[in-house]
Amino acid sequence: MGKALIIGAGGVASVTVHKCCQNPDVFEEICIASRTKSKCDALKEKLDGGRTKISTAQLDADNVDEIIALINDFKPDVVINLALPYQDLTIMDACLATKVHYVDTANYEPLDTAKFEYKWQWAYREKFKEAGITALLGSGFDPGVTGVFSAYALKHHFDEIHYIDILDANAGDHGHHFATNFNPEINIREITSKGRYFEDGKFVETEPMEIKRVYNFPEIGQKDMYLLYHEELESLALNIPGIKRIRFFMTFSEKYLTHLRVLENVGMTSIEPINFEGKEIVPIQFLKAILPDPASLGPRTKGKTNIGCIFKGIKDGKEKTYYLYNVCDHQECYKEVGSQAISYTTGVPAMIGAMMIMTKKWNKAGVYNIEEFDPDPFMEELNKWGLPWKESFNPDMVD
Ligand code: NDP
């Protein structure tokens, strides 16, 4: 059917590349392009020989002209951005210049702030519409599948949704004292920021990790979870009419939080550059360099993730609750694609999002968050590509 340019060759990109190669009817040809070409070549070597033709390229995705040149050379139908949030705008600029569709899994972040806001990317709405191309924002799991779940719940189960709690639980154990499951810089930025949730038309701020709940998750059991801000809250607050409150909770063990508290107290999680022996370094980037590479956790991680949304609202004049979730097993993921479940649960929806655009099931010009599209074809593909969803009509609620 067509060609995809995949930018980035890290944990998530590796899963997406595997999944595109499992889906050669849609992804006839892919090009893997990233800063370190050897990582792209290693992926090609592992997956070459199937029906999907693979090429690789060295690319600095901070440089718009370089991206434009690569797009003009490879001529993809869609660019799947699986580099870091810092590259979103340069890649969107290159897509605009070449009129190619764009998909990502995380909102743009300027290097010097950590705001988790869509405003920079939403500012491209008119330009993408005029160019006749689609930018699909946030096609990972959260954001991503959580938005699709919300659109599906609204379409099929509610007249109005009033409350959404997004619960992200990871019961995986990698055996290290401390490691992050995906890019440590992004992960730590997320956790050390203040919490925020949406209520009655505005965002309410909390101290980091101030709000704790205990929840008994299907298939993984009871876990401590903490309220965080997460970027999909911003778009869901706009796109789910009548919504009164949306919160996001993520599980963390006491051990993980203790390590993090110490690192934070000594300044190791700071994003402010410091001078070290005549060289400017950013503490959190240095920390990233000494922590285990998330990609190395795959073979060691045992246990499951459970990510989903609990909805409460009105159907036919009556109050209704509904829970949609996915359970993913770290070791099963590793057996299939050589990555743990965190990368898997992001990399599969990135492939499906690109597939929605390439097959024209999602076909509207402009910049859109994922919940703005028809959820049904995406939900169907989740079941086919390794992330089957489950539902409960009588879930425990979070108080
Ligand atoms: P990794 O750090 O493992 O991979 C990032 C890749 O991008 C690396 O290959 C890196 O190159 C490459 N890269 C970084 N900067 C550039 C650049 N300037 N030019 C070209 N390539 C570059 O991250 P992950 O795979 O864990 O995450 C990828 C994305 O997915 C992130 O944006 C993350 O926020 C997002 N994510 C989304 C989730 C969701 O559910 N929505 C969940 C988890 C992650 P090099 O190899 O040289 O470092």
**Which pLDDT tens digit goes with each residue over 330-348?**
999 999 999 889 899 999 9
What one-character DSSP code corresponds to residue 370?
A: G
Residue 106 Cβ contacting ligand 1 at under 6 Å: yes
Residue 230 Cβ contacting ligand 1 at under 6 Å: no
CA distance 190 to 340: 20
Question: Does residue 257 surpass a pLDDT of 90?
Answer: no
**What separation in Å is there between the alpha carbon of 80 and the centre of ligand 1?**
11
**What separation in Å is there between the alpha carbon of 186 and the centre of ligand 1?**
9
**What separation in Å is there between the alpha carbon of 311 and the centre of ligand 1?**
31
**What separation in Å is there between the alpha carbon of 303 and the centre of ligand 1?**
24
Residue 329 Cβ contacting ligand 1 at under 6 Å: no
User: What pLDDT does residue 187 have?
Assistant: 72
Residue 142 Cβ contacting ligand 1 at under 6 Å: yes
CA 257 to each of CA 180, 191, 247, 284: distance values in angstroms, whole numbers, following the listed order? 11, 9, 20, 16
In DSSP notation, 316-350 reads TTEEEEEEEEEEEEHHHHHHHHSS-HHHHHHHHHH
Residue 387 Cβ contacting ligand 1 at under 6 Å: no
Q: In this predicted model, what pLDDT tens digit does every residue of 46-61 receive, in sequence order?
A: 999 999 999 999 999 9
CA distance 345 to 333: 9
User: What pLDDT does residue 382 have?
Assistant: 98
- 59-66's contacts with Cβ under 8 Å and 24+ in sequence apart are 59/7, 59/33, 59/34, 59/35, 60/35, 61/7, 61/8, 61/33, 61/34, 61/35, 61/87, 61/90, 61/91, 62/86, 62/87, 62/90, 63/90, 64/90, 64/93, 64/94, 64/97
Mutate to test the pocket of ligand 1, among 6, 7, 12 (most ligand atoms within 8 A of CB): 12
**What separation in Å is there between the alpha carbon of 239 and the centre of ligand 1?**
27
The residues with which 325 forms a beta bridge, in sequence order, are 308, 390
The residues with which 247 forms a beta bridge, in sequence order, are 165
Average pLDDT, stretch 80-107? Answer: 97
**What separation in Å is there between the alpha carbon of 293 and the centre of ligand 1?**
12
Q: How confident is the model at residue 109 (pLDDT cuts 50, 70, 90)?
A: confident
Query: Whose alpha carbon is nearest atom 8 of ligand 1?
Result: 10
Model pTM score: 0.94
CA distance 156 to 322: 11
Q: Which of 34, 45, 29 is nearest to 11 (CA)?
A: 34
Cis peptide preceding 388, ω within 30 of 0: no
Q: How confident is the model at residue 113 (pLDDT cuts 50, 70, 90)?
A: low
Question: Does residue 116 surpass a pLDDT of 70?
Answer: yes
Question: Does residue 319 surpass a pLDDT of 90?
Answer: yes
User: What pLDDT does residue 189 have?
Assistant: 73
Average pLDDT, stretch 186-200? Answer: 85
| Residue found under tokens 């999680």 | 269
Residue 13 Cβ contacting ligand 1 at under 6 Å: yes
Q: How confident is the model at residue 293 (pLDDT cuts 50, 70, 90)?
A: confident
Query: Whose alpha carbon is nearest atom 4 of ligand 1?
Result: 10
User: What pLDDT does residue 114 have?
Assistant: 64
Q: How confident is the model at residue 360 (pLDDT cuts 50, 70, 90)?
A: very high
**What separation in Å is there between the alpha carbon of 251 and the centre of ligand 1?**
22
195 Cβ neighbours under 8 A, 6+ residues apart? 205, 206, 207, 208, 209, 210, 211, 226, 227, 228, 229
Task: Please identify, by atom number, the ligand 1 atom nearest to the C-alpha of residue 12.
Answer: 25
Q: In this predicted model, what pLDDT tens digit does every residue of 304-318 receive, in sequence order?
A: 999 999 999 999 999
In DSSP notation, 51-98 reads SSEEEEEE--TT-HHHHHHHHHHH--SEEEE-S-GGGHHHHHHHHHHH
Average pLDDT, stretch 352-371? Answer: 98
Q: How confident is the model at residue 298 (pLDDT cuts 50, 70, 90)?
A: confident
CB 312 within 8 A of CB 161: yes
Residue 143 Cβ contacting ligand 1 at under 6 Å: yes
**What separation in Å is there between the alpha carbon of 7 and the centre of ligand 1?**
9
Report the percent of the chain where pLDDT is more than 70: 99
Q: How confident is the model at residue 134 (pLDDT cuts 50, 70, 90)?
A: very high
Task: Please identify, by atom number, the ligand 1 atom nearest to the C-alpha of residue 87.
Answer: 18
User: What pLDDT does residue 264 have?
Assistant: 87
Question: Does residue 65 surpass a pLDDT of 90?
Answer: yes
Task: Provide the strand spans (E) within the chain.
Answer: 2-7, 27-34, 53-58, 78-81, 101-104, 134-137, 160-170, 195-199, 202-206, 212-217, 221-228, 245-251, 274-276, 279-281, 304-315, 318-329, 366-369, 389-392
Query: Whose alpha carbon is nearest atom 28 of ligand 1?
Result: 82
Task: Please identify, by atom number, the ligand 1 atom nearest to the C-alpha of residue 105.
Answer: 41
- Where is 282: in which H helix or E strand? none
The per-residue pLDDT of the chain, averaged, comes to 95
Query: Whose alpha carbon is nearest atom 32 of ligand 1?
Result: 84
**What separation in Å is there between the alpha carbon of 81 and the centre of ligand 1?**
9
What one-character DSSP code corresponds to residue 173?
A: B
**What separation in Å is there between the alpha carbon of 12 and the centre of ligand 1?**
7
Strands 366-369 vs 2-7: parallel, antiparallel or unpaired: unpaired
